[in-house]
Amino acid sequence: MPEATQAATLVVGIGNPSRGDDALGPLALERLSQMQLAGVELLTDFQLQVEHALDLEGRSEVIFIDASVESHAPFDFAPVEATADASATTHALSPAALLDTYRRLIGRPPPARVLAIRGYAFELGEPLSERAANNLEAAVAMLAARLRRSRIGS
């Protein structure tokens, strides 16, 4: 997986590959990395942390991909705004709280969206569930098409 450097679009995959459907974020990035999408950089991590704010600098768009127990199946894809939510007090920030950290420390954050892929089971050592695997396919197809379109349009 390439490390994030400077490109217009940053896609951040969040999750633990060894915790069942929590692998959805990293797996989505793995799939995207095989597509060689121009102008797109990929960054994966277990969870968002304050220093990830520095990875957002200079981007025209940021997309966070994470497993979700709240989204609709197969996925929700929606803009996210900087918000000081409860995760600002934990070791793991939400995308909204990370954007808020950026706003406080650096300035106006880049436009961002969250691709929340519906997951179901999150136990250590479990494989991806079948339903989550289907959701992953749909989410990656949508996002890849969108990233290709935005590249053509730029």
1 binds another protein, rule: CB under 8 A:
yes
Other Cβ atoms within 10 Å of 84 Cβ, number: 14
Give the separation between CA 54 and CA 139, rounded to whole angstroms: 26
Q: Which residue lies nearer to another protein by CB, 85 or 137?
A: 85
Give the separation between CA 31 and CA 61, rounded to whole angstroms: 20
15 binds another protein, rule: CB under 8 A:
yes
Give the x-and-dash track for 63-92 against another protein (CB under 8 A): ---xxxxxx------------xxxxxxxxx
- Of 99, 116, 128, 140, which lies in the binding site for another protein, with binding defined by CB under 8 A? 116
- By CB under 8 A, what part of segment 35-64 binds another protein? 44-47, 49-51, 53-54
Cis peptide preceding 111, ω within 30 of 0: no
Among residues 14, 41, 22, 18, the alpha carbon closest in space to that of 147 is found at: 41
Q: How far is the CB of 22 from another protein (least distance, A)?
A: 5
The pair of structure tokens assigned to 129 is 């569930």
Q: Which residue lies nearer to another protein by CB, 138 or 151?
A: 138
Cα–Cα distances (Å) from 147 to 14, 120, 126, 138, in that order, read: 19, 27, 31, 14
Residues that bind another protein (CB under 8 A): 1, 3, 14-22, 44-47, 49-51, 53-54, 66-71, 84-92, 94, 100-101, 104-105, 114, 116, 119, 122-125
